[in-house]
Structure 1
Amino acid sequence: METATPIEDLAQITTRWQETMLSLEKVYEQEPEVLSIGGVAIGTLGNFSASIGKAKSKKTFNVSAMVAAALSGKEVLNYTTDFPDGKNRILYIDTEQSQNHCMIVMHRIMKLAELPANEDCDRFYFLALRKFNPKERLAIIDDAISQIESLGFVVIDGIRDLVYDINSPSEATCVISKLMQWTDEHQIHLHTILHQNKSDENASGHIGTEINNKAETVIQIEKDKDDSNISKVESVHTRSKDFQPFAFYINDQSLPELLPDYVPTKKSAGRPKQVENPLKVAPLIQSNLTPV
């Protein structure tokens, strides 16, 4: 991936330090809080957040609720939004699913938002980028964010597919830099999704490390340990206060539905207890038979 600054731009960059200098004589407004969970802000304009979780933990179902809340202006699965006037359009980018599966996600979002599921909405843009390579995907996303007017909320479902090597420090830095550039220059909030490692709860690869370091909020979606039909949503880290964990299940209409009285299983402190070999624990049975 190209990382060096083109020679023709270097002259312009040498003067930018003056543009970026802060002044104690000015007042800088706090970024508007646009995405919340249970009344706790997790997303502001000019920043990005992320969802992490293992495969099949229902990450896309959870993000569908975020988008539906932004489209409808109503609370969906504990998510509420408050985008300013002129920031009411939404761009959803899927990098890995087929067009048919993307349509399923679109229909789900529209149903959750209580909007017609068979009519296009002029506030909702959905891009299916599965057939493109990472460099092409980045270029398409950059173009869309630049051209869509009144854009306020962007979802990238599958940031891993914007890099060739998930463990490349240079690629990870480039992609996260693009997220920060897009959100700052266009004053949008961007939410992205990344898998967790199979062996632990860390976000995958070097790009996962960069997301943990740079994201405004990281939330985790995981299956309940006692009931695999339930998915729990909790805070990994945030720049404000943590929100209360909540859980949802998929109802008979294939829509995520809140479990209002859910009580999460508490994790045991320290290392998991080792189970002793039953052959070592069980007492030996002495035979009364005389050996032959």
Structure 2
Amino acid sequence: MIRTTKEQILYATDGGLQVFRHYIPFAITPGKKFRNPLYDDRRASCFIYKVPQTSIYRVNDFGDPTCSGDCFWFVAALHDLDLQKDFPRILEKIIRDLSLSISLPECAPGSIRSQVESVPTLRPTPTLAEPAGRPYRIEEKAFDESECAYWRQYGITPNVLQRYGVRSLRSVRSETAEGKRYGFMSSTHEPLFGYVRKDYVKIYRPLSAARFVYGGRLPDIYTFGMEQLPQRDDMLFITGGEKDVMSLAAHGFHAICFNSETAEIDTSIIEMLVRRFRHVFFLYDADETGVKASTLRCEQFAAYNVLRIELPLAGTKAEKDISDYFRLGYSAEDFHHLITDRLEQLYTQTLMLLDSCEIDYRHPPDRSQTVIASRGVPLGTYDNLFCITGGEGTGKSNYVSALIAGTLLTEIPTPPPNLLGLEVTPNTSQKAVLHYDTEQSEYQLHRNVGKTLRRVGLDAMPTFYHPVFLAALSRKDRLQLIKDSLDLYHHRHGSIHLVVIDGIADLIRSANDEAESIAVVDELYRLAGIYHTCILCVLHFVPNGIKLRGHIGSELQRKSAAILSIEKDDNPALSVVKALKVRDGSPLDVPIMLFGWDKQQDMHVSRGEKSEEERERRKTAELSLIAREVFRERDRLSHDELLRLIMQTVEVKERTAKDYIRHMQESGLIEQQKDNHYTLKK
């Protein structure tokens, strides 16, 4: 029988794990996330896990729920085969490709091919198990006014119900695990709702004794609300039920639930969630069961820093969960105050440390030895990193000071301030502006704050501006302080307009330590996404041609949306600003800006742009560097090889790399041979 052959394969391959490892072109570990090889997966949200009841391994993809299944489904998807019609071919391919000692019966009565109709269809859903589960039939209807009123008391609107796949049912027919048939009809006194999915339904009867019944087969890992989550954000709540998830969503919060408060939770899911959200809270019921379960989960996942929120409810049947909380008249703002209070408790030690590090502009510190430092403010976009780099004496500190000054304005004055030729979005909502300096002393930072305020005509420091000196702290404590205070000020001011880290290399032991460099840049990029802000990193390195030096430079070059380099001009009275990288476009098309000291205004001012001739000379010189680099190991390259190497060398997109190739040909740097291969022109 076909099931015998299938079971033989599963037995010989450790439940299908070896099949996954054979066809996935990189090493995988059960429970560890990786990028799904079935499509252009940009975020690692896919993992292999073992189903406890069957000991069969499956792949689950939270990034695309349609790309999930067992090893047979995976081979079918990988080779564009139909899981039902081509099942014999799938078995044959696995046996032959893995050299399994399993015989293949001929196509005869009782053989593999003649038994294909007996194979149940495995749809590509996250965790649909075999067999198909309990048969069921539901009859849907429109929501009536009494049903809408039921949901409305929790703030749940028809749009929210539609978004989460909730249906009003007229009737449901199914059977028990023992095969006994049963059915329900909706009525005014006993409404009937269904959480309808492709292969199962969870029936909700809110006013009945037996509130939940099921049709089909629930997934091995049942989650509600996962598909509606953003890729990254600040907070996520794990609640006790579907109604709680939707009530939170209706009030502007992200939430999911499992099948119950006592359901087991896989560690890999918590690991995935804490990568996507800064805070993961357990928000179970306020009764004894909920308190016990949430406390247990926080202990179980203590390594992931999950927290629990206690609701100010009596814990009785009438007031125990977040849905009741909103029904009783509490608002989203009230709930946010609960969260803020919880975080204030969490950051008690951080607040004490901040008090000792934050600049008090009204009380200048004692004068101490001056240390070279720089400032920064975003030139990129929210959710991204931006980098400014340059050597000593190039004017970085004045350039960065101008950027910060622009973010302290809540509206554009007339005439506008001199921001060295840049356009800086005013901080109309008075979001937090955070500046962390790893090199300067208290005295120098205080002095530079005064220069920044003077540039935009301010006499006092805005309450949302927080300059912090970190030179006195250890490197390990610096990064932790930045992470904690980001969260603190995000909630205190409602949002963050800009974060400046002046001296990013001082957050790690060595700028040439690859592991540390990758970790710190990844963490900052994650924080930029969570808080929807721009993080400006100042790197005190002189660029090496078209690339930044060191592993920290390489990581910033990969992750930053834009990179500006500040150098001294041929005229020593001027500094020149040029783009090394622009994510949306070519850096060669960005004007080369100039700035210098104006004695009359007693500050640095914009000196315009370099001429078109200068830009063309710069374009040719930098393209020559790129060409020599990509042809360093090979004399001849095909168009595809040349395109790929340019994209890897200078971290640009395909369209920009094609533009580089065209400019290289027009400038006579490379030439195309008769066989369409490219060579470096001597």
Equivalent of 2:404 in 49, 67, 70: 67
Q: Is the 8 A contact 1:212 1:218 kept in 2?
A: yes
Q: Which moved more, 1:170-179 or 1:101-110?
A: 101-110
- SS of the residue corresponding to residue 247 of structure 1 reads strand
Find the counterpart in structure 2 of residue 259 from structure 1: 607
Equivalent of 2:449 in 102, 106, 123: 106
Q: What code does the residue aligned with 1:128 have?
A: F
- SS of the residue corresponding to residue 380 of structure 2 reads strand
Find the counterpart in structure 2 of residue 47 from structure 1: 384
Equivalent of 1:185 in 519, 527, 530: 530
| CA deviation after TM superposition for structure 1 residue 83, in Å | 6.4
Q: Is the 8 A contact 2:591 2:609 kept in 1?
A: no
Q: What are the equivalent positions in structure 2 for 1:77-92 lying under 5 Å apart?
A: 77-82=420-425, 86=429, 88-92=431-435
Find the counterpart in structure 1 of residue 550 from structure 2: 205
In 2, Cα distance between the equivalents of 1:12 and 1:147?
31
Distance 1:104 1:250, change over 3 A: farther
Q: In the TM superposition, what whole-angstrom CA distance separates every residue of 1:245-286 from its partner, at most 9, and x where no partner exists?
A: 211112235522011365458447469xxxxxxxxxxxxxxx
Q: Which moved more, 1:107-116 or 1:178-187?
A: 107-116
Q: Is the 8 A contact 1:58 1:221 kept in 2?
A: yes
Determine if the alignment matches structure 1 residue 21 to structure 2 residue 365: no
Find the counterpart in structure 1 of residue 576 from structure 2: 232
Distance 1:11 1:261, change over 3 A: closer
Distance 1:175 1:209, change over 3 A: same
Distance 1:22 1:185, change over 3 A: farther
Equivalent of 1:142 in 483, 494, 499: 483
- SS of the residue corresponding to residue 608 of structure 2 reads coil
In 2, Cα distance between the equivalents of 1:212 and 1:199?
12
Find the counterpart in structure 2 of residue 288 from structure 1: none
Distance 1:175 1:96, change over 3 A: same
| CA deviation after TM superposition for structure 1 residue 204, in Å | 3.2
In 2, Cα distance between the equivalents of 1:235 and 1:165?
26
| CA deviation after TM superposition for structure 1 residue 228, in Å | 1.7
In 2, Cα distance between the equivalents of 1:151 and 1:105?
22
Equivalent of 2:394 in 45, 54, 57: 57
In 1, Cα distance between the equivalents of 2:478 and 2:427?
28
| CA deviation after TM superposition for structure 1 residue 89, in Å | 2.0
Task: Flag the structure with more relative contact order, 1 or 2, with Cα contacts below 8 A and sequence separation at least 6.
Answer: 1
Structure 1 residues not aligned, in runs of 5+: 1-9, 29-40, 272-292
Q: In the TM superposition, what whole-angstrom CA distance separates every residue of 1:102-129 from its partner, at most 9, and x where no partner exists?
A: 112211211122211xx23112110001
| CA deviation after TM superposition for structure 1 residue 140, in Å | 0.9
- SS of the residue corresponding to residue 91 of structure 1 reads strand
Q: What code does the residue aligned with 1:186 have?
A: Y
- SS of the residue corresponding to residue 209 of structure 1 reads helix
Q: In the TM superposition, what whole-angstrom CA distance separates every residue of 1:144-195 from its partner, at most 9, and x where no partner exists?
A: 1111132120011100100101100010011101111110111111111112
Distance 1:200 1:55, change over 3 A: farther
User: TM-score with structure 2 length normalisation?
Assistant: 0.33
Distance 1:174 1:198, change over 3 A: closer
In 1, Cα distance between the equivalents of 2:437 and 2:514?
23
Identity of aligned residues (%): 23
Q: Which moved more, 1:144-153 or 1:166-175?
A: 144-153
Distance 1:183 1:257, change over 3 A: same
- SS of the residue corresponding to residue 258 of structure 1 reads strand
Q: How many residues align?
A: 246
In 1, Cα distance between the equivalents of 2:535 and 2:61?
24
Q: Is the 8 A contact 1:57 1:223 kept in 2?
A: yes
Structure 2 residues not aligned, in runs of 5+: 1-29, 35-44, 47-59, 67-226, 231-377, 626-682
Distance 1:248 1:22, change over 3 A: farther
In 1, Cα distance between the equivalents of 2:408 and 2:485?
19
| Greater gyration radius | 2
In 1, Cα distance between the equivalents of 2:544 and 2:33?
43
Distance 1:254 1:84, change over 3 A: closer
In 1, Cα distance between the equivalents of 2:541 and 2:407?
26
Q: What code does the residue aligned with 2:393 have?
A: K
- SS of the residue corresponding to residue 394 of structure 2 reads coil
Q: Is the 8 A contact 1:46 1:187 kept in 2?
A: yes
Q: What code does the residue aligned with 1:141 have?
A: I
Distance 1:178 1:254, change over 3 A: farther
User: TM-score with structure 1 length normalisation?
Assistant: 0.74
Find the counterpart in structure 1 of residue 234 from structure 2: none
Q: Is the 8 A contact 1:195 1:203 kept in 2?
A: no
RMSD: 3.3
Distance 1:20 1:256, change over 3 A: farther
Distance 1:199 1:183, change over 3 A: closer
Q: Is the 8 A contact 1:90 1:151 kept in 2?
A: yes
Point out 4+ residue stretches in structure 1 off by more than 6 angstroms: 10-14, 23-26
Q: In the TM superposition, what whole-angstrom CA distance separates every residue of 1:213-265 from its partner, at most 9, and x where no partner exists?
A: 1100001111102x222111111111113432211112235522011365458
In 2, Cα distance between the equivalents of 1:153 and 1:100?
23
- SS of the residue corresponding to residue 584 of structure 2 reads coil
Q: Is the 8 A contact 2:505 2:539 kept in 1?
A: yes
Q: Is the 8 A contact 1:42 1:216 kept in 2?
A: no
- Greater per-residue helix proportion: 2
Q: Is the 8 A contact 1:70 1:80 kept in 2?
A: no
Q: What code does the residue aligned with 1:112 have?
A: R
In 1, Cα distance between the equivalents of 2:31 and 2:430?
34
Find the counterpart in structure 2 of residue 35 from structure 1: none
Q: Is the 8 A contact 1:60 1:157 kept in 2?
A: no
Q: What are the equivalent positions in structure 2 for 1:245-256 lying under 5 Å apart?
A: 245-252=592-599, 254-256=602-604
Q: What code does the residue aligned with 2:481 have?
A: I
Q: What code does the residue aligned with 1:255 have?
A: M
Q: What are the equivalent positions in structure 2 for 1:264-283 lying under 5 Å apart?
A: 266-267=617-618, 269=621
